[in-house]
Structure 1
Amino acid sequence: MTCRFYREEEVASLLDMATAIDVVEESFRQLGTGGAENIPRQRARAPGFALHGMHAAAEYLGTAGWKMYSTTRIKARFHVGLYDIDSGQMKALIEADTLGQIRTAASSAVGARYLARKPITQLGIFGSGWQAEAQLEALATELPITQAFIYSRDQEKRESFAERMGEKLQIEIVPVHDPKDAVEDLPLVVTATTSKHPVFDGNLLAEGALVCAMGANWTFKRELDVVAIRRADNWVCDSIEACRGEAGDYVLAAEEGYFDWDKSVSLADVIAGQSIGRDNADSIVIYKTVGLAIQDVALGTKFLELAAQNPELGVDLPF
């Protein structure tokens, strides 16, 4: 077995959002039933640099792997390595910026599949970067979205986002000047920012709303204020263990006495039927994601399955 290397454009050519959502859903189910193991992210740092690593084993797929990525002031660089469980041989090395973008967005869509009060045709979204783009695409793939309200601090960026994504998804996207217009009376709110501080007033959340908060994955960052945390009836994590180490939205609220980790549940357990993710139609639900390696391994394995049908893709590595 030869290890094969794949570039970003090759990943983008084979993976679509609908496929990714189903793959990520199954990875959560397997986590909940014992068919997979996930090891949360760890970081090694130097001035101006951080190396981030996370690992997972997917027994149900016969693969295991890691995602490693470096971040500097200039750029982030992502790679996924996949191994065959039986032989221990490295199967593939994949440039994983696109793969990570898709799997992160798919996680929010899976969360909406199990936690949202449906039907949902409108949503609000905070952020105008590449993650926000994927979040909107994933939720529009999963739900019959016809209208989205986009808030970003930069007027030019939010207007450009609205024009670009509206044309791509063929839905109405309204850039808004006031953050409240991306929250008030909406059944779904997505935060996909790099902010260190809350991006909206939790008092504005509608009864029954689902919040998909995915931007903050450092303990000193929070996109949600304590009001949003306190008003919630259900607190769901992509992984409780991972969120305890990274989800500033929860970590800071817990330190301030506004959040109890014992009341949180994992989406894996919700999908496996072992926990309740939404009490009732009027419950406010927060789904906090920090990103899991099992998603990278599962989606990377799916990519290899598709790439096997396209032998012209990738190049062999000498090991």
Structure 2
Amino acid sequence: MALFLSEQDVEQLLTMPLALAEVEAAHRALSTRRAHDVPRQRTRLPQTTLHILQGALPQLDVIGYKAYTSNRSGVRFLVHLYRASTGCLLAVIEADRLGMIRTAAASGVATRWLARPDATVAGVFGAGWQAEGHIEALAAVRPLQRVKVFARRADRLQAFCARLSHRLGIEVSAAASPEEVVRGSDIVSTVTTAAAPLFDAAWLAPGTHINAAGSNSLIRREVGEDVIKRCAPIVVDSVETALREAGDLLPLFEKGRLRERDLVELGDVICGLQPGRSTTEAITLFESQGMAIQDLAVAARLAEMARARAIGVELPYGG
């Protein structure tokens, strides 16, 4: 029978090191043609939008999808995981935390491969659910000593910084301005729903790595053209997905100032098929839109662990 895992079950099982390992493996599989991924599809109504990401990892014998609805009342996530060889349902997993951790892990993997090894200071835009995971991921792959955070909600920012400082054992402090976040940072991460660029290229020091994780539609922009002009390489999780959803990049394609061949897939950097950071002075950019194979790789590992530990509830269907 299929297994159901709740948010509480996922929290019990999922760690950042696990997510980093599975997300990196998924990108290796995609680069070596051992994975299939379909860019996000959306069905929109005035009140609610349904979002679906689907794909397959044949080496794990899994195929499946993540579906979520966004509404004024909230966002609701579920992953449906099937055995590829038989078509049988393996698991249904509540995926709010799963999605947060795997999104952060994608930026963590990109940081591992693109940021300078001696990066110790990070600047983060955003103090929400996703930003929390991103800081944890950055701290897992680089010896961070300080994180500067800027967010619109100043009332939430202080509590956010105090909580992360205590949990991670590093200095996480509130920045007074976007410029303060960027200047002096070795890594800059944007995890927001901004509709306009968050910082100026002039504030970036040579050697900075940027993770842009919030711009997954045409109406969202976190990184401006002035920044993108300074970046090499421009790395994406998937070129096909970026050409559909990367709000930071799409205006430059429209103007003819960026071409598909200018984009490098993260998996190709990991596998050594494309260069990543070329010099210590290079400014590198990772544009993250999110992929089904990231969710499926993490979900498959969670389902395996849950069965071994007798965690979750058997469903009366799908076997």
Report the TM-score range of the alignment, normalised by the length of the smaller protein. over 0.9
SS in structure 1 at match of 2:277: coil
Q: Distance in 2 between matches of 1:136 and 1:11?
A: 20
Q: Distance in 1 between matches of 2:316 and 2:133?
A: 31
How high is the sequence identity, in percent, across the aligned residues? 37
| Alignment coverage as a number of residue pairs | 318
Q: After the TM superposition, which residues 72-87 of structure 1 pair with which residues of structure 2 at under 5 Å, given as runs? A: 72-87=71-86
Q: Deviations over 1:114-137 (max 9, x none)?
A: 111111111000000000000001
**1:48 Cα deviation after fit:** 2.2
SS in structure 1 at match of 2:122: strand
**1:143 Cα deviation after fit:** 1.3
Q: What does residue 137 of structure 2 align with?
A: 138
1:59 is aligned to 2:51 = no
**1:258 Cα deviation after fit:** 3.5
Q: What does residue 126 of structure 1 align with?
A: 125
Q: What does residue 87 of structure 2 align with?
A: 88
Alpha-carbon contact 1:67-1:79 (below 8 Å) kept:
yes
Q: What does residue 303 of structure 1 align with?
A: 302
Q: What does residue 108 of structure 2 align with?
A: 109
**1:106 Cα deviation after fit:** 0.4
TM-score normalised over the length of structure 2: 0.97
Q: What does residue 195 of structure 2 align with?
A: 196
Consecutive unaligned residues in structure 1, runs of 5 or more: none
Q: Distance in 2 between matches of 1:14 and 1:114?
A: 26
Q: What does residue 250 of structure 2 align with?
A: 251
Alpha-carbon contact 1:253-1:259 (below 8 Å) kept:
yes
Q: What does residue 170 of structure 1 align with?
A: 169
Q: What does residue 28 of structure 1 align with?
A: 27
Q: CA RMSD in A?
A: 1.1
1:232 is aligned to 2:243 = no
Q: What does residue 263 of structure 2 align with?
A: 264
Q: Distance in 2 between matches of 1:256 and 1:163?
A: 43
**1:80 Cα deviation after fit:** 0.3
Q: Distance in 2 between matches of 1:250 and 1:280?
A: 23
Q: Distance in 2 between matches of 1:136 and 1:257?
A: 34
Alpha-carbon contact 1:105-1:131 (below 8 Å) kept:
yes
Letter in 1 for 2:7: E
TM-score normalised over the length of structure 1: 0.97
Q: Distance in 2 between matches of 1:104 and 1:312?
A: 24
**1:253 Cα deviation after fit:** 2.5
Letter in 2 for 1:90: L
Alpha-carbon contact 1:236-1:264 (below 8 Å) kept:
yes
Instruction: Pick which of 247-256 and 128-137 moved more.
Output: 247-256
Q: What does residue 155 of structure 1 align with?
A: 154
Q: What does residue 214 of structure 2 align with?
A: 215
Q: Distance in 1 between matches of 2:182 and 2:291?
A: 27
**1:312 Cα deviation after fit:** 4.1
SS in structure 1 at match of 2:275: coil
SS in structure 1 at match of 2:100: helix
Q: Distance in 1 between matches of 2:219 and 2:255?
A: 13
Consecutive unaligned residues in structure 2, runs of 5 or more: none
Q: Distance in 2 between matches of 1:259 and 1:166?
A: 39
Alpha-carbon contact 1:117-1:208 (below 8 Å) kept:
yes
SS in structure 1 at match of 2:59: coil
Q: Distance in 1 between matches of 2:278 and 2:142?
A: 21
Q: Distance in 2 between matches of 1:5 and 1:313?
A: 6
Q: Distance in 1 between matches of 2:205 and 2:160?
A: 25
Q: Distance in 1 between matches of 2:170 and 2:311?
A: 36
**1:160 Cα deviation after fit:** 1.6
Alpha-carbon contact 2:63-2:83 (below 8 Å) kept:
yes
**1:15 Cα deviation after fit:** 0.8
**1:278 Cα deviation after fit:** 1.9
Alpha-carbon contact 1:226-1:258 (below 8 Å) kept:
no
Q: Distance in 2 between matches of 1:258 and 1:157?
A: 38
Alpha-carbon contact 1:155-1:177 (below 8 Å) kept:
no
